[in-house]
């Protein structure tokens, strides 16, 4: 791969990218959870 980045630096960048992806996944999950609970509450009010 003729990369001139030292190995530890490449590794750290990879870890940073994974951490960012994980944070974005958590944010997506939180968004989905909140929209699901809102929908559940609305249907609960409609049903009762």
Predicted local confidence at residue 7, as pLDDT: 77
Looking at the chain, how many residues does it have? 48
C-alpha–C-alpha distance, residues 23 and 25, integer Å: 5
Predicted local confidence at residue 5, as pLDDT: 66
Domain residue limits, the chain: 14-47
More confident residue, 41 or 23: 23
Backbone Cα Rg of the chain? 20
C-alpha–C-alpha distance, residues 48 and 42, integer Å: 10
Looking at the whole model, is its pTM more than 0.75?
Answer: no
Segment 14-35, tens digit of pLDDT:
788 888 888 887 888 877 767 7
Percentage of the chain lying above the pLDDT 70 cut: 75
């Amino acid at each position: 791969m003729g990369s001139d980045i030292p190995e530890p630096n490449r590794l750290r960048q990879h870890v940073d990218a994974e951490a960012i992806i994980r944070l974005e996944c958590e944010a997506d999950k939180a968004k989905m959870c909140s929209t699901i609970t809102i929908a559940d509450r609305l249907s609960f009010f409609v049903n009762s």
